[in-house]
A = this chain, B = another copy of it.
């Protein structure tokens, strides 16, 4: 039984961490950090936790927390962890950061897209990008700091990864059109996120400027073996949870001048994901739907080929606050502490 602390426990990702860790056999939550609700009962902030969590919200004293727990989850705004993390903390505890602070290896890129100065670039190199299905070999007992991937990025990368890695598509043609539920916008009180503004509405936002873009490019660039530039467009959809990524790319012709067949493409997906518990390659002709993964750690992927123009349309669906945030964080924790990778995550998707 290890002890965990959460900084930012009252945001949606923080709340989901609590939900998942309550069902985890090897972890006890010892610290519910929330700058906004200090001294308030956690179950008053999230009434679903009534009689399940008795604790009171604490401040975000990470130095003190580091002494008390084996792992700290930071579900905090960009820049927070970078501004407080120290070698001392990392010597005492492991840190899994759900913010973007250590996801991007190039500080200049981070500062350009996030418009903030990085306060502790010395830890970027060490941080492991915790996309378990791809970086599993780097997440282990020696790992001190995890940069937990973003929700859009997890979905976007896993959907295209096998085809990029195996060179079946030209990554310079990659276009990602992603639709997200509103929990991704957080629990802050903003007019834009009011029920009446989101309900019965669809819109794009952050077009050509969204901050998950360089993260996708960096990771898919590793797969491609070269730098790539993608077009990424996020959309806000009237639902609580879920991301659906529809991705478009031109297939690369084989040596004989023909395009890869559907069977060949499917074989590549199977090669990478057949043994992955949390990535499900759906049967031919079945499109991923966000509802089918709701509440679970699954990513459902599939594709179709537009034969008339040699494009492949790839599709991926996940629950943005499970596999796109808290679930993946727990998966990383499991790997770091040698627990069964799926411990606490064997959640059957809820339908309807």
Tell me whether A199 and B207 are in contact (CB under 8 A).
Answer: no
Chain A: interface residue count, which band?
35 or more
Chain A residues packing against B (C-beta within 8 Å): 12, 15, 19, 22-23, 44, 46-52, 172, 175, 177, 179, 181-183, 187, 189-191, 193-205, 207-208, 229-231, 233, 235, 237-242, 244, 246, 248, 280, 282-283, 286-296, 300, 304-309, 311, 313, 315, 317, 346, 348-352
Oligomeric state, in copies: 4
Apart from the given pairs A175-B175, A195-B195, A202-B289, 11 other A-B contacts in the complex at a CB distance below 8 Å: A47-B300, A181-B200, A187-B191, A193-B194, A197-B352, A200-B294, A200-B352, A201-B289, A203-B244, A204-B315, A229-B309
CB distance from A46 to the nearest CB of B (A): 6
Contact present for A244 and B295 (CB under 8 Å)? no
A48 and B195 contact, Cβ closer than 8 Å, known pairs A202-B289, A238-B237, A289-B203? no
Residue of B nearest to A177 (CB): B177
Contacts of A22 in B (CB 8 A): 348
A241 touches B200 (CB 8 A): yes
A231 touches B306 (CB 8 A): yes
Which listed residue (B48, B200, B244) contacts A239, Cβ 8 A? Answer: B200
CA distance A311 to B205 in the complex (A): 16
- Supposing A231-B248, A313-B231, A348-B19 touch, asked if A189 and B189 sit within 8 A by C-beta, the answer is yes
Give Cα A242–Cα B196 distance, bound, in whole angstroms: 12
A-B contact pairs, 8 of them (CB 8 A): A179-B235, A187-B191, A195-B197, A199-B199, A202-B317, A203-B289, A233-B246, A235-B246
A197 and chain B: residue at smallest CB distance: B352
Q: Which residue of B lies closest to A300 (CB)?
A: B50
Contact with A304, one of B51, B191, B208 (Cβ below 8 angstroms): B208
Chain B residues with Cβ below 8 Å from A235 are 179, 244, 246
Cα-based distance from A287 to B246 in the complex (angstroms): 19
8 Å CB contact of A288 from B51, B203, B238: B203
A308–B177 CA distance with the chains assembled, in angstroms:
17
Q: B193–A242 contact, CB under 8 A?
A: no
User: Which residues from chain B contact A300 at a C-beta distance below 8 Å?
Assistant: 47, 50
Complex CA gap A352/B189 in Å reads: 15
